[in-house]
Amino acid sequence: MNREYKNNEITNKLLKLTIAHVNDTHSYFEPTSLQLTLKQGEQILRPYVSAGGFARIATRIHQLRSDAQRMRRGFLFLHAGDCFQGTLYFSLFKGTANADMLNELQLDAMVLGNHELDMGNAPVAAFVRKINFPFLAGNWDLSKEDLTKHNTLSTESNVLSYVPSTQSAQWLCKWVGDEPVAIFGVSIDKMAAIANPDLDTPFANAIETVKNTISDIRSNGINKIILLSHLGYEEDKQLASQVSGLSLIIGGHSHTLQGDFSSIGLGKQDHYGVVVNDIRIVQSGCNALSLGHCDIEFDAQGRVISFSGRNELLLGRRLFLNASMDQVGDDDAHIAACDFLGRHPNVVVCKKDPQVQSMLLDKYVPRVRALQKKVIANVDRNLRHVRLPDEKGGSEIAPLVAHSFYYMLNKNGQSVEFVIHNAGGVRTSLNAGELSVADVAGKLLPFAVPVGCYRVTGEVIALIIEGAINNATNNGVNGTGTGSYPYTYNLKYRYMAENLLGSRVEELQIFTPELGWQPVEKTKIYTGSSSAYSMKGKEGYQAILQMQGEGFVSQYSMADCFTELLTDHPEVISHFDANQSLKRHWHKGC
């Protein structure tokens, strides 16, 4: 099953095509202040440069599209998922700004990313109603979607989802001259474990969907097939080793920047367009810093017989001495460094497209700037965030974020006694200085996930903590990453890694204002708070599903809670006893 497919007589002949692609743009519409490391003679320079942004991507796309037309090549521009989240533009405008800005880039298609589903299906449904390009979700089964919901996806004609009867994806056919190219997309099939899709819209196995879709496309006489994947780079390579008949995988999710950027301090990955099982695989970093593009020639059998391309870091023309980019480096060394960047094979110095820049400046920047100027606290020293505690200790920020959940919910009528928050919900450390609303919502807690509360027994509290640590440390389980590590407020315990599963949390205590620290009673019911993400039992938090009733999810995001706490009590960020907080949940043995 496909969209935009017309039954022309297919001759299957040589085809020349240019493909440009981005992935994981995460609402980075504006350029980023990016620090480089450059060697000029014996001198090491670490200048800052204005990098990426949608206006630069638009300029480069116009250039590549024009070049393709001049060379009589077809042209496609594709997005490999995760446009949501990441900056204040998403915190403020949710998917509206993303839809407007992506429409300006004139995409040919985009695949669903996991962060599109952080807040459930409704924001995705609103987003697809605004975009003017196909939205590929080939292993997302919308066939049993509840049509009484306010926002539905199965009714939208630009959503290409899963077909249960054939266990394959709907696919898109793009005609390049009189030659068809098929495009389809798949996303992480364990989406329910890392995001928040509605229960009535599950995900099918990605690999089986890919195999069945290739068969379906080829049965229609098309042999030039492109997969848009939001699975991750290693997963793309594994998939390529298990299927045949694909020409190209354009990937996302793992933020992999293929190519050699080591001479400017940004590392080196596999070469662009690595080949696995005769399938080319490409991915282009993240955060709208770079653009990938390749020129491909297909033979009549759909095989790639010629491939050339690269990832390009899109930069402004000046080098700066500081991150605020208000001091230009104009000495001989910096001038020479500018010349070096201009000749670097994986760097393109380009201007901002005036139309895209104008939309951003006129429609969205003013509200963002207002919040960037709203200072809510002063941080008197650097505060460190790590996911797993190390020899220096644990996160100094995550316990304070947990405190803010407690503060916000109790202020608004809930009776929360403790908080458990996953480390991955906090995204960065804090430097000393002024802290604005924008810093909180755009950098520290950029994921617009609401917080909630639930009632569980003391025995379940211990199981929640243990499950989260087991998952984060792969202790007796196949974990999903260190982001599950639990930071708490009003709880302290010992985690004994060598104990049997289910009995690793010892000496669990809860703090009450009236009685101080008290042992947690196994059968007593307590009220706790976590993010809505953790409340779904994801990534080691399965025990939380043993809550009494369904729990309560508030309208407040993590950033809302933290902002409220610091607005009401700005001194707490300086007076908060991080060491005491860490003692409340410190553990040994893992």
- Counting other chains too, the contacts that 305-309 makes at CB distance below 8 Å and 24 or more residues apart are 307/273, 307/280, 309/272, 309/273, 309/282
CB-neighbour burial class of residue 388 (10 A; exposed 0-12, middle 13-18, buried 19+): middle
- The pTM of this model reads 0.79
DSSP class of residue 355? H
Report the candidate in 364, 368, 399 with the shortest Cα–Cα distance to residue 489: 399
Range scoring the smallest mean pLDDT among 81-85, 327-331, 455-459: 327-331
Does position 220 have pLDDT exceeding 90, yes or no? yes
What band does 9 get if pLDDT is binned at 50, 70 and 90? Answer: low
pLDDT value, residue 3: 55
Report how far Cα 368 is from the mean position of its chain's Cα atoms.
21
Residue written as token pair 């819209």: 201
Q: Which two tokens stand for residue 25?
A: 């743009």
pLDDT band with cut points at 50, 70 and 90 for residue 16: very high
Bridge-based pairing of strands 304-320 and 290-298 is antiparallel
pLDDT tens-digit series, residues 334-379:
888 888 898 999 999 999 999 999 999 999 999 888 888 899 999 9
For residue 259, the 8-state DSSP code is S
Write down the H helix ranges in 416-570.
Answer: 437-439, 458-473, 532-535, 558-568
Structure confidence by residue, pLDDT tens digits, 446-487: 887 889 999 999 999 999 999 999 999 999 998 888 999 999
pLDDT category of residue 6 using cuts at 50, 70 and 90: low
Core vs surface per residue 104-115: b (16+ CB within 10 A) or e: bbebbbbbbbbb
pLDDT at 323 (0 to 100): 80
Give the integer Cα–Cα distance in Å for 381 and 265: 28
Q: How far is CA 429 from CA 115, 383, 398, 441, 582, in A?
A: 22, 6, 10, 14, 16
Regarding predicted confidence, which is higher, 205 or 590?
205
Q: Count of residues for the chain? A: 590
> Which residues, 6 or more positions from 549, have their beta carbon under 8 angstroms from its beta carbon?
455
Name the burial class of residue 430, with classes exposed (0-12), middle (13-18) and buried (19+) by CB atoms within 10 angstroms of its CB: buried
Are 33 and 290 contacting, i.e. CB atoms less than 8 angstroms apart? Answer: no
pLDDT tens column, 88-136: 898 888 899 999 999 999 999 999 999 999 888 989 999 999 999 999 9
Instruction: Tokens for 519, please give them.
Output: 């042992």
Instruction: Describe the crossing of helices 233-242 and 206-219 by its angle, rounded to 10 degrees.
Output: 50
Residue 87 per-residue DSSP state = S
Could you tell me where the DSSP H helices lie in 373-517? 398-411, 437-439, 458-473
d(CA 483, CA 472) in angstroms, rounded, equals 7
Q: Write the CA distances from 545 to 453, 461, 478, 522, 537, integer angstroms.
A: 12, 11, 20, 17, 6
Compute CA distances 459 → 465, 502, 519, whole Å.
10, 10, 12
| 135 neighbors 112 (Cβ within 8 angstroms) | yes
User: What would the pLDDT profile of 243-284 be if each residue is shown by its tens digit?
Assistant: 999 999 999 999 999 999 999 999 899 999 999 999 999 999
Across residues 35-60, what is the average pLDDT? 92
Q: What confidence category does residue 499 fall into, taking pLDDT thresholds of 50, 70 and 90? A: very high
Helices (H), 225-317: 233-242
Residue 589: predicted pLDDT: 35
Contact (Cβ atoms closer than 8 angstroms) between residue 578 and residue 385? no
**Above pLDDT 70, what percent of the chain?**
95
AA identity, residue 391: E
DSSP readout, 522-543? TTSEEEEEEEHHHHTT-TT-GG
Give the separation between CA 61 and CA 77, rounded to whole angstroms. 8
CB-based burial, 282-312: b 16+ in 10 Å, e otherwise? bbbbbbbbbbbbbbbebeeebebeebebbbb
Q: Quick check: helix, strand or coil at residue 464?
A: helix
- Mean per-residue pLDDT of the chain: 92
Mean pLDDT calculated for residue range 495-508? 97
